[in-house]
Amino acid sequence: MTGTLILVRHGQSEWNLKNLFTGWRDPGLTEQGIEEARQTGQVLAAKGIVPDLYYTSALRRAQHTLDLMLEEMGILNVTITRNIALNERDYGDLAGLNKDDARKKWGEEQVLLWRRSFDVPPPGGESLKDTAARTLPYYEAEILPQLKAGKTVLVAAHGNSLRALVMAIEGLTPDEILAREIGTGQPTVYKIGPDGKLVERVAL
């Protein structure tokens, strides 16, 4: 028996639209982001997917995305587990800054290093390695046992917390995961075996 894991990055947020570093700041979804979430819910409903368990972060853009998806799937009155372990990477001093302004302040090369290195954090923030250090233990303790038991699990989270999960599930290197784009509102679906290992990545 295999479990099914559905990972969905939140729909476009107001700060995505404005090209701002977001991290643990808490902007809402744009109209496009709302539509992205609804469309993903419709896709999952059309595939007949009915999750057994639902997880999201402590940030409202991910929570709202999950709520909209469930609405489109016709799923009401379910228990949703929210946990800070699934939060976006904390961008520290970069949070709230326009990415172009950050480049002017610190230089193109330095900002690129903070954004695209695996283990170099921005001032006061987290690297992707740091993000993985809180996201993966939560996944392994709370979500993976459900998948091993054959459950279907839906996770609505963020670009970098999901990168940490994808890296572990697919066995990617730091360079490979940094090159992986995870689009807003886009689902990634995996079949996970009873040994906790990846069986296949499912195309929707």
- Confidence band, pLDDT 50/70/90 cuts, at residue 20: very high
Q: What is the mean pLDDT of the chain?
A: 96
pLDDT at 171: 97
Under a CB-based contact definition with an 8 Å cutoff, are residues 185 and 38 in contact?
no
* Model pLDDT for residues 166-178, shown as the tens digit of each residue: 999 999 999 999 8
Count CA atoms closer than 13 A to 169's CA, side-chain side: 26
- Distance between alpha carbon 157 and the CA centroid of its chain, in Å? 3
Residue 13 has pLDDT above 90, yes or no: yes
198 class by beta-carbon count within 10 Å (0-12 exposed, 13-18 middle, 19+ buried): middle
Residue indicated by tokens 């990634």: 188
Candidates 21, 8, 202; CA nearest to 115 is: 21
Label residue 6 by pLDDT band (50, 70, 90): very high
Give me the pLDDT at residue 204, please: 81
Confidence of residue 183 (pLDDT cuts 50, 70, 90): very high
- So what's the pLDDT on residue 50? 95
10, 64, 72, 158: which one is catalytic? Answer: 10
Residue 88 annotated as catalytic: yes
Within 10 angstroms of residue 89's Cβ, the number of other Cβ atoms is: 27
Q: Is the pLDDT of residue 201 over 90?
A: yes
Q: What tens digit of pLDDT does each residue of 148-163 get?
A: 999 999 999 999 999 9
Please, which pLDDT band fits residue 116 given cuts at 50, 70 and 90? confident
Taking only the tens place, the pLDDT of each residue in 44-102 is 999 999 999 999 999 999 999 999 999 999 999 999 999 999 999 999 999 999 999 99
Active-site annotation holds for 176: no
pLDDT category of residue 203 using cuts at 50, 70 and 90:
confident
Domains recognised in the chain with CATH numbers: 3-202 (3.40.50.1240)
**Catalytic hit among 64, 88, 126, 158:** 88
pTM higher than the cut 0.85: yes
